[in-house]
Amino acid sequence: MSVTIEEVEAAAQKHPVAPYLRMDRMPHIWCPTCGIGTVMKCYAQALEEADVDMDKAAIVSGIGCTGRVAGYMNLDAFHSTHGRAIPFATGVKLGRPELLVTVFSGDGDLSGIGGNHFIHAARRNMDLLVILVNNFIYGMTGGQNAPTTPLTAKSSTMPFGNFEEPFNLPHLAASCGAVYVARWTCLHTRRLTKSFQEAIDRRGFRFIEVIAPCSTLYARLNRLGSGFDLMRFYHDSAEIKHGADPKEVGIDFQDKIICGKFIDEDRPAMHERMDAHYKKVLGDKYVPMPPEGGWLHE
């Protein structure tokens, strides 16, 4: 049976998450069996299920494969510089506090070059939903070692295997003060969507790590088979342990992946704490920035 391009395009427009995406930018750039598209779809679905006002939602990405997500979401979207998505998003949030601001980027972007911003945004409990897609490698630049590459795994800059300790990202986020910390793989589509939805409704620094296969580079360099083999591996080796101690959820090469919700607390976000503090110490003299932002108009 043959289908025309027009039929494919018409079908795409009817896709349930089409209103949440820039369909005029499809097809996306990601490789077949890459997990990022699935994570993006889950995020779009979570926006729908959480009934988010899309006109009041902004998304910020850095650079890299996952950094392209902002460009495909039908929101106010910022494709910023490498590693700077979190401070850029901090500006967007503080400039117009009413916005729901999501940072959507990769492991290299957020925990490598952007690591300093990550820990400080978690410390000050910035009101950001941070979605980090971890594929254990720098994909866009061709498979170099990442701060998340497991010990002994090969990368193009660790051709004899990685000998540096990787980050355990949920532990990093939790120890810096993140109020919501979860990890899923991109195969947990229903749980991941629910987790996004839950995190959208929380306040403060919310961190969700999503493990996703990179068949083009990570699987190839490590002879892990096809993208489908990698997906099956992630499916079979994921173990759900809600409330697990984040310290215990580090990932070894081709070993089990502990998933679940590890932290879920309620603490005022940075801008809420600022408001409350100034109200207390300055009283009537304090003039808060209005929710629609600090812009001037006639």
Token duo for residue 171: 């532990």
Scanning 88-96, 178-186, 189-197, 200-208 for contacts with another protein by CB under 8 A, the matching segment is 88-96
Q: Supply the Cα-derived Rg of the chain in whole angstroms.
A: 20
Measured CA to CA, the distance from residue 198 to residue 227 in angstroms comes to 29
Examine residue 25 and tell whether it contacts another protein (CB under 8 A).
Answer: yes
Examine residue 92 and tell whether it contacts another protein (CB under 8 A).
Answer: yes
Token duo for residue 45: 């679905």
Q: Least distance to another protein from the beta carbon of 271, Å?
A: 8
Measured CA to CA, the distance from residue 195 to residue 54 in angstroms comes to 19
CA-nearest of 261, 280, 263, 284 to 272 is 280
Report H helices in the chain. 5-13, 36-49, 69-72, 85-95, 107, 115-123, 169-175, 189-200, 220-221, 227-237, 270-282
Q: Which amino acid is at 284?
A: D
From 28, 56, 232, 241, residue interacting with another protein (rule: CB under 8 A): 56
Q: Least distance to another protein from the beta carbon of 159, Å?
A: 29
- The residue (of 63 and 211) whose beta carbon lies closer to another protein is 63
Q: Least distance to another protein from the beta carbon of 61, Å?
A: 9
Measured CA to CA, the distance from residue 179 to residue 157 in angstroms comes to 35
From 91, 161, 225, 250, residue interacting with another protein (rule: CB under 8 A): 91
Examine residue 6 and tell whether it contacts another protein (CB under 8 A).
Answer: no
Query: What is the footprint of another protein within residues 93-122 (CB under 8 A)?
Result: 94-96, 98-99, 116-117, 120
Scanning 10-18, 130-138, 248-256, 290-298 for contacts with another protein by CB under 8 A, the matching segment is 290-298
Residue pair 215/31 in contact (Cβ under 8 Å)? The answer is: yes
How many Cα atoms are found within 13 Å in the side-chain-facing hemisphere of 138? Answer: 20
Q: Least distance to another protein from the beta carbon of 117, Å?
A: 5
Q: Total number of residues binding another protein (CB under 8 A)?
A: 51
Examine residue 263 and tell whether it contacts another protein (CB under 8 A).
Answer: no
- The residue (of 70 and 182) whose beta carbon lies closer to another protein is 70
Residue pair 26/71 in contact (Cβ under 8 Å)? The answer is: no
Measured CA to CA, the distance from residue 115 to residue 221 in angstroms comes to 25
Binding map of another protein across residues 145-164, x = CB under 8 A, - = no contact: --------------------
Q: Least distance to another protein from the beta carbon of 294, Å?
A: 3
Which residues form the interface with another protein (CB under 8 A)? 22, 25, 54-56, 58, 60, 70-71, 74-81, 83-84, 86-92, 94-96, 98-99, 116-117, 120, 271, 274, 278, 282, 285-290, 292-298
